[in-house]
Amino acid sequence: MYRKSACVGIILLGWVMAMSRCTHPEQTQLQALRQQVQKLQDTLAFIRAHYKPGLGELMTTIQYNHGKLWFAGIKHNWPLASFEIGEIRETAQTAQEIETDRPEVKDIPMLYPALDSVQAAVQAQDEARFKKAFSFLTTTCNNCHKANHFAFNIIAIPTAPPATNQQYGPSSSQ
Ligand code: HEC
């Protein structure tokens, strides 16, 4: 009886020793993982604080493409016009995805039907229709600004290209 319980005791002691040897490296690993996660979280917070564009910056990008779109359309460079519409759409989607702390982005989708009608005019290569659709797009920009206390921020049909180092008309080979 005594021998048997001593035997069990030795087995138990061996098991405890084996377990403590096992858990020790596991805890160290866990600790290292926790530190790595913390480091990643810090890096993410830094990137968000310093590199994430603000809604105003994304809007400035949209404004730039809006200006280029006008000159591509009136000069009949339809592939460029189509490209600029795509750029505006992409930036608008980015705003919806990353500006989660800005309640105004719930109104971003009002842009999509307006962009669709410009796209339809571009596909039809119809300048008059393009001008009308572009006007509707511009009114939509302003409607959102008005709805979100930015009525002072008035978007207009551009009178000069936003960049002069780009050709807006089609190349002769197009
Ligand atoms: C969600 C609705 C919404 C739509 C649609 C929208 N805007 Fe804006 N826009 C805003 C808000 C909100 C701001 C203010 C951003 C800020 O606080 O920096 C803004 C700011 C701007 C600015 C000022 C940026 C600056 O820093 O000077 C420009 C330019 C602009 N928008 C252009 C446009 C154009 C062009 C369109 C249409 C193609 C458009 N916006 C459509 C909501 C919108």
* pLDDT tens readout for residues 86-106: 999 999 999 999 999 999 999
Q: Please report the pLDDT score of residue 142 as a whole number.
A: 98
Predicted pLDDT at 104: 97
**Exposed e or buried b per residue across 45-63, where buried means at least 16 C-beta atoms within 10 angstroms of its C-beta:** eeeeeeeeeeeeebbebbb
Could you tell me the distance, in angstroms and rounded to a whole number, from the CA of residue 114 to the centre of ligand 1?
Answer: 15
**Residue 174 has what pLDDT?**
54
Q: Is 104 in the pocket of ligand 1 (CB under 6 A)?
A: yes
> What pLDDT is stored for residue 48 in this prediction?
81
Residues of the chain predicted below pLDDT 70? 1-23, 173-174
Contacts with 157 (C-beta within 8 Å, 6 or more apart), sequence order: 70, 134, 135, 138
Q: What is the predicted pLDDT for the residue at 97?
A: 95
47 CA from centroid of ligand 1 (Å):
23
> One-letter amino acid identity for 148?
N
> How far, in Å, is the centroid of ligand 1 from the Cα of 9?
75
CB of 114 closer than 6 A to ligand 1? no
The CA 154 to ligand 1 mean position distance, Å, reads 9
pLDDT of the residue at 47: 87
Ligand 1 atom with least separation from CA of 111 = 5
| pLDDT score, position 5 | 60
